[in-house]
Amino acid sequence: MAAAAIFAFREKATLAMMGAGALLGPLCESLPISAGAWWYAAPADIFGMPAYMILAYAIFGGLLGHASQAAGALFAGDVTSRAKMAEM
């Protein structure tokens, strides 16, 4: 699914947002896990969470970046950005 997101949106910003999501998501989630607020029943591989969660945060980061770009173009009335999004 992450590969599909990369191929669908071939922009450096997508890779940057996916990287930020992959780093910041697990980092922020590891704090309440270490405090005992919740835990995962599946085997915890990295930071007390399953490895697939890092991929999920990466995909979410990429999608969040595109959603914010679309919302910004919508509210700013940027016609060129809307046309670019329609081509995707």
pTM (predicted TM-score): 0.70
Residue 22, pLDDT score: 92
Residue 45, pLDDT score: 75
Give 54's DSSP letter.
H
Query: In sequence order, what are the residues at sequence separation of 6 or more whose Cβ sits closer than 8 angstroms to the Cβ of residue 9?
Result: 62, 66, 88
Residue 72, pLDDT score: 84
Per-residue pLDDT of the chain (88 residues; tens, 9 = 90+): 656 666 666 778 888 898 999 999 999 998 998 898 988 887 767 777 888 888 899 989 988 988 888 888 888 876 565 556 555 5
Class of residue 18 by CB neighbours under 10 A (exposed 0-12, middle 13-18, buried 19+): buried
